[in-house]
Amino acid sequence: MPRFLQGLRAFGGLTLMLASPVVTAQSTPPAAKPTLQGESCSVRGLMDQLRQGMGSSSKAYRDYLQAVLREAAVSLPSGELHAAFDRETDPAMVEQLAAALVARSEREAEKDAIQTVARRALEDRDPSVRAATVRAMRRTGALEKTGDMYERLMRDGSPEVRMEAAKNLIEDNEYVYSAHHGPATDMAVNAATASTDPKVTAKILESLDTRRMGPEAGQKLLGMLGHESADVRRSAALALGSVPAAQMGPAREALVGMYRGERDAGVRKALVQGIAELGFADAVPELRKLRSVDPSMAPEIDAWIRALESGVQEWGLLLREKQRLQQVR
């Protein structure tokens, strides 16, 4: 037989051997599948995990546990969750339980749950607990669901609580409403003007975009230009730079008039910036008139005039252009 035929015969035999099923002396029965055991999600179990996990050095793990509680909040027994919130005294744990109740309210599993959180923010005897409860409402819809809570928090006896409330107002307007919801802006202005803490008032106003502000809040903001604190006057001047078109005329008139009598250099710089933002290129003639009022402010005004004459029409870009021009001198 030719050699190549012998090779084919050998290859065919090997193929049959590989294709044939392997026969064992005894067949092994398949292993039994494990039985799945259901486990209910309890408030106590989640809190025990969270309390233990809060001591972890991993921020990612801590964030994960907090997210689990918020996600589970909708399906947790309401009575148990409220009882745990009322019973807890550790500020870190109070914050997480408050956030869970806020999540229930946000997802309409229990619309009034947020009122429980607001009451504790206002009434708890421990300022650290009040501050933690306020933080739990940050970047949520609490601003529109809690009435005059923020105005009352502005008069809280604890500086920590007042500052946490201010951060809520700032971040809610920026991240929840993107500065496009007038009532949220008005609430921030109302809270700022109700505050007896100049640092808190200034922090709110200097961070606020007022493009959707209502006329009543606008009048309150104009009144802040006469505040005894230079920081508040400076912040009010900056906030007036972005008011709606209908309020631009009174705002510009107030800023220009105030510039002539203001003695604080920081406030004067803010007044110039506010005038520039209100008018862009149209503000140049007014700024030239103000240049001679205070010779020490001439370089600042000149930088603004050059920036405004550059033709840049976006405020953020215009600010950077003005800074660039000051650096290259």
Parse the chain into domains and list their residue ranges. 43-135
Distance CA 32, CA 35 (A): 9
Distance CA 279, CA 284 (A): 8
Distance CA 28, CA 9 (A): 35
pTM of structure: 0.82
Distance CA 305, CA 247 (A): 23
Distance CA 112, CA 101 (A): 9
Distance CA 176, CA 170 (A): 10
Eight-state DSSP code of residue 131: H
Per-residue pLDDT of the chain (329 residues; tens, 9 = 90+): 554 444 434 444 444 444 444 444 455 556 555 554 444 568 888 888 888 888 889 999 888 988 888 898 899 999 999 999 999 999 999 999 999 999 999 999 999 999 999 999 999 999 999 999 999 999 999 999 999 999 999 999 999 999 999 999 999 999 999 999 999 999 999 999 999 999 999 999 999 999 999 999 999 999 999 999 999 999 999 999 999 999 999 999 999 999 999 999 999 999 999 999 999 999 999 999 999 999 999 999 999 999 999 999 999 999 999 999 888 76
